[in-house]
C-alpha cells in the first residue's frame, strides 16, 4: 500500500489505478498474471555472460548448461530458477513455443533491476549489458559486443548455427550473432561470423 501522489489518499492495490508505490495495477490482486498481489511487476531475469565461447557450445543443451552455471554461481537459482540460452538452431527455435513455453505476462529485467522488455521477443527498452552478478559487460574492442544467437528478433532461426552449435571450425562453418549494445532487432539478429571466434551468450530465466 502506498500513497497517491495526486490525491494524498492511500493507494489500493487492485483498483485499476497505478499510484505511488505501485508499478502496475491490473484491477485485481491475483498473482501470476504479470502484476502481483502487491501491484509490482512479476519479473524474470535476463543477462549476458561475461565469459565468451566459440561455436562448439555442446549444442543447445550445452549452451543452456553454461547459462545455468553462470546463474547458479551468481545466486540466481536459490529458489529453483531455471535459465536457458536465448539461441536457435534450424530444428530448435529460441521462441516461446520451442524454448520458453507460454509467453510470460510480466517483465524481463536485467540483473541491475532495469526493465529490458515486457515481451522477450518484442520491443526492448534497455540493452542487455549486465552479467549474472549485475556487473557491466564492456565491449572494448571490435566484435566484443557479439552474442551467439542463430536467431531473428522474433526468436526464429537466422543464418548459420555452427552445425547446431557443435563446431569451432574456421572458414568452413559460420554462426550468426546478435549485438548486446543494440535494443532493436539487432540484439538478436546482426550478422554471421566464423565459429572459431569467441562470443557471449544471452541467458534468460524460464521459470
Task: Give the CATH number of the domain where residue 81 resides.
Answer: 3.10.100.10
Residue 184 and residue 145 in one domain: yes
Residue 1 has pLDDT above 70, yes or no: no
Task: Find the distance separating the first CA and the last CA of the chain, reported in whole Å.
Answer: 27
Residue 182 and residue 131 in one domain: yes
Residue 145 and residue 58 in one domain: yes
Residue 37 and residue 76 in one domain: no
Residue 71 and residue 89 in one domain: yes
Residue 85 and residue 10 in one domain: no
Reported as a pLDDT band with limits 50, 70 and 90, residue 94 is confident
Single out the residue of 85, 65, 87, 58 nearest to residue 167, CA to CA. Answer: 58
What's the confidence (pLDDT) of residue 6?
45
Residue 73 and residue 161 in one domain: yes
Is the torsion defined by CA of 82, 85, 87, 92 positive or negative?
Answer: negative
How much of the chain is in helix, strand and coil states, percent to nearest 5? 15, 25, 65
Residue 33 and residue 76 in one domain: no
Residue 35 and residue 99 in one domain: no
Reported as a pLDDT band with limits 50, 70 and 90, residue 48 is very high
Phi, psi of 69 (to 5 degrees): -65, -45
Residue 4 has pLDDT above 60, yes or no: no
Residue 129 and residue 144 in one domain: yes
What's the confidence (pLDDT) of residue 153?
85
101, 206 contact by CB (below 8 A): yes
Range of the domain at 3: 1-41
What's the confidence (pLDDT) of residue 197?
97
Number of domains the chain contains = 2
Residue 10 and residue 58 in one domain: no
- Of 2-11, 44-53, 87-96, 121-130, the poorest mean pLDDT is in 2-11
Residue 78 and residue 165 in one domain: yes
Q: What is the mean pLDDT of the chain?
A: 91
pLDDT per position as a tens digit, 124-178: 999 999 999 999 999 989 899 999 999 988 889 988 999 999 999 998 999 999 9
What's the confidence (pLDDT) of residue 8?
53
59, 163 contact by CB (below 8 A): no
Q: Which residues of 146-183 are buried (b: 16+ CB within 10 A; e: fewer)?
A: bbbbbbbbebbbbbbbbbbbbbbbeeebbbbbbbbbbb
Phi, psi of 29 (to 5 degrees): -115, 30
Span 18-41, mean pLDDT? 86
Q: 203 - beta bridge partners?
A: 47, 85
What's the confidence (pLDDT) of residue 32?
76
**31-to-38, 39, 102, 113 alpha-carbon distances in Å:** 9, 9, 16, 20
CA distance 158 to 176: 7
- Of 60-69, 71-80, 99-108, the poorest mean pLDDT is in 99-108
Amino acid at each position: 500500500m502506498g500513497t497517491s501522489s495526486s490525491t494524498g489518499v492511500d493507494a489500493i492495490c487492485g483498483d485499476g489505478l497505478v499510484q505511488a508505490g505501485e508499478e502496475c495495477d491490473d484491477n485485481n490482486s491475483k498473482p501470476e498474471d504479470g502484476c502481483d498481489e502487491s501491484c509490482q511487476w512479476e519479473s524474470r531475469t535476463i543477462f549476458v555472460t561475461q565469459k565468451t565461447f566459440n561455436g562448439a557450445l555442446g549444442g543447445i543443451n550445452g549452451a543452456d548448461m553454461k547459462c545455468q552455471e553462470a546463474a547458479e554461481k551468481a545466486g540466481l537459482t536459490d529458489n529453483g530458477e531455471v535459465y536457458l540460452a536465448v539461441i536457435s538452431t534450424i530444428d530448435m527455435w529460441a521462441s516461446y513455443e520451442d524454448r520458453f513455453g507460454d509467453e510470460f505476462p510480466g517483465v524481463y529485467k536485467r540483473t541491475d533491476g532495469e526493465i529490458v522488455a515486457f515481451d522477450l521477443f518484442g520491443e526492448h527498452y534497455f540493452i542487455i549489458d549486465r552479467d549474472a552478478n549485475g556487473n557491466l559487460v564492456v565491449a572494448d574492442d571490435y566484435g566484443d559486443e557479439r552474442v551467439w544467437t542463430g536467431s531473428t528478433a522474433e526468436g526464429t532461426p537466422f543464418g548459420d548455427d555452427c552445425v547446431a552449435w557443435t563446431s569451432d571450425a574456421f572458414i568452413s562453418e559460420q554462426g550468426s550473432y546478435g549485438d548486446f549494445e543494440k535494443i532493436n532487432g539487432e540484439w538478436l539478429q546482426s550478422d554471421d561470423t566464423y565459429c572459431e571466434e569467441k562470443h557471449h551468450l544471452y541467458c534468460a530465466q524460464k521459470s
